[in-house]
Amino acid sequence: MKRFGSLSIDFRRAEAQVAELGRFLDAPGPIPEDGPSGLLRFFRDRADLLGLIGRLNLRAGSSDLVAAELDIMGYFRADFAVGDERTGEYVLIELEPADDCIFHKHGEKTKREWHSRFNHGYNQLVDWFWLLGDFEHTKTFQSIFPNFSRFIGLLVIGRDHHLSLEERQRVEWRRAKCLTDSSPILVLTYDELYDMMKTDLDLLKEIAKGGRDVG
């Protein structure tokens, strides 16, 4: 059973890994999901970047737990997970392809429908929350998620350039309005994720200049 390991983020290393993510996304040609040059391998090799992603959970103080292929009670497996043991805040991460897979054309409809790959990734997160809610008060759950307080889900899928303005608004509305058992599921394109990481690093630099703890 794959569980969390400890993490101490090196923010200089995280900055280098964010830059690597930008170059990775800018490379010509399709980006495979798996394999030696795929998305899963890229993130698996960059724990500090994953720790930075964990900061998307704004109630977490820091990211000090990280896991790849986290076993979820023996039934499911999260691509990645990041946690803050002190606050008990956890982010469960599902990666889907970085191509045109958020919406697709179906029949003669004027508006594209939600893509099957989007629904697959989103529904996996829903199932994780359902199962974890069922096990929340067991000793096994408590050993995997120490001091548990809350989960948020993160689905990373697609690229900005595949979306029209209206489709971006549809994604933003779903991200803002839809909760699963009171747990938010963030939906970000890979471009949005990269931009958010850069913004967070700029904020951390400003905090460091002021001599404050970056958390």
pLDDT 10s digits, 120-150:
999 999 999 999 999 999 999 999 999 999 9
Domain count, the chain: 1
Give the per-residue pLDDT at 7: 95
Q: How confident is the model at residue 30 (pLDDT cuts 50, 70, 90)?
A: confident
Q: Mutual orientation of helices 11-26 and 190-209 as an angle, nearest 10°?
A: 150
Nearest to 146 by CA among 87, 61, 92: 87
174 domain residue, yes or no: yes
Q: How confident is the model at residue 56 (pLDDT cuts 50, 70, 90)?
A: confident
Cβ-contact 214, 11 below 8 angstroms: yes
Q: Which domain holds residue 143?
A: 5-209
Give the per-residue pLDDT at 41: 94
Give the per-residue pLDDT at 76: 96
Q: How confident is the model at residue 97 (pLDDT cuts 50, 70, 90)?
A: very high
Percent of the residues in the chain that have a pLDDT greater than 90, as a whole number? 75
The SS3 of residue 99 is coil
214 domain residue, yes or no: no
Longest dimension (CA), the chain: 59
The mean-pLDDT minimum among 155-159, 188-192, 195-199, 200-204 falls in: 200-204
pTM of the entire predicted model: 0.92
73 domain residue, yes or no: yes
Structure tokens at 64: 């000090």
Structure tokens at 85: 């043991």
Give the per-residue pLDDT at 34: 84
215 domain residue, yes or no: no
The mean-pLDDT minimum among 7-11, 54-58, 113-117, 131-135 falls in: 54-58
